[in-house]
Amino acid sequence: MKTADLHIHTTASDGRFSPQETVTAAKKAGLSVIAITDHDTLDGLFELLRLQDPISPLESPLKIIPGIEFSTDVPNHEIHILGYQIDPQNTALTKQLKLLIDDRVARAKKMVRKLADLGYPIDYQRVETIAGQSTAIGRPHIARALIEKGYFLRIADVFHHLLQTDGPAYVPHYKMKPDVVIDLIHSSGGVAVLAHPAMVHDDSWVHKVIEYGIDGLEVYHPTHTLEATMRYIKIAEKNHLLMTGGSDFHGIPGRFPERLGIFTVETTLADLLLAKKIPDDSITL
Ligand code: AMP
Ligand code: ZN
Ligand code: FE
Ligand code: FE
């Protein structure tokens, strides 16, 4: 059976595999369609476009859907919105991405200062080195710097003690309101999907996002129970929304899934997503 994974992070944000390594791993895993959905950046996609080499021997063709994941500004709720098939050259989008990325740098520096005050000094320079090619510097990069220093053993422990949203070293980053994100995705020619709706922990917000004009719900996600999946399928059907799914792969040891291909969805879902937008400007590598 042909399979797809419509939610994947790379080193362009806080994933551990480069876009190229992700493509290779996806092919090895036998996937037919993937979407790269890094936080606040399209750099992974640009890297793949640069690497696109029509004469390289391909084990299997892999369709790559351009995507992105935005966190939104709703206090006390994790409302993440995925944008698919956006025009990477869109001016308004490019401008907004620069604001988000610049703020991530300022915010990371603030968190490093807070950590020093809390007795966990690390060099900001080290965080930047760990982030490598990622411009979307995030908490996972800071967590790795803390682990390197020997303060903690696991990323989950760092979040638990310091970096989770109510943790002492947490600093929020600049986010847009969900309706603004949806409008931005639409004006960039894309399709907006509410990521892991169960993580919102409040279905009244799911309904509000539907009112704002979301196009789909990510009904299949590793954090979803069967009950949650069934509930969001029903909500999607009732509201004539697309249904999508993905593994939210980061390549982080100890965080499921540790490799691509073990949490997949049928390619029909990707076909329906692509059919929402004409022409299909995904790339094949
Ligand atoms: P940021 O965008 O910098 O606020 O970081 C958010 C990212 O941190 C998420 O996309 C996850 O990859 C990661 N994350 C959030 N909460 C946890 C947690 N409790 N344990 C491990 N990673 C987490
Ligand atoms: Zn992430
Ligand atoms: Fe998310
Ligand atoms: Fe994600």
pTM of the model: 0.93
pLDDT in tens, the chain (285 residues): 789 999 999 999 999 999 999 999 999 999 999 999 999 999 999 999 888 754 444 456 899 999 999 999 999 899 999 999 999 999 999 999 999 999 999 999 999 999 999 999 999 999 999 999 999 999 999 999 999 999 999 999 999 999 999 999 999 999 999 999 999 999 999 999 999 999 999 999 999 999 999 999 999 999 999 999 999 999 999 999 999 999 999 999 889 999 999 999 999 999 999 998 544 456 666
- Report which DSSP code applies to 156: H
Residue ranges of the alpha helices (H) in the chain?
Answer: 19-28, 43-51, 91-117, 124-131, 139-148, 155-158, 178-187, 203-211, 226-238, 267-275
Task: Please work out whether the CB of residue 221 comes within 6 Å of at least one atom of ligand 1.
Answer: no
Query: What is the per-residue pLDDT for 51?
Result: 82
Ligand 1 near 156 CB (within 6 A):
yes
Residue nearest to atom 14 of ligand 1 (CA): 140
How far does residue 270's CA lie from ligand 4's centre (Å)? Answer: 17
CA of 62 to the centre of ligand 3 (A): 24
User: Which residues, 6 or more positions from 171, have their beta carbon under 8 angstroms from its beta carbon?
Assistant: 107, 110, 111, 114
Ligand 1 contact, 159 CB (< 6 A): yes
**Closest atom, ligand 1, to C-alpha of 104:** 3
Question: For position 284, what pLDDT does the model report?
Answer: 65
pLDDT at 56: 47
Q: How far apart are CA 35 and CA 273, in angstroms?
A: 11
Task: State whether the beta carbon of 105 lies less than 6 angstroms from ligand 1.
Answer: no
Question: Residue 2 has what pLDDT?
Answer: 86
Helix (H) or strand (E) holding 218, with range, is strand 216-220
With a 6 Å cutoff on the Cβ, whether 14 touches ligand 1 is: yes
pLDDT of residue 281: 54
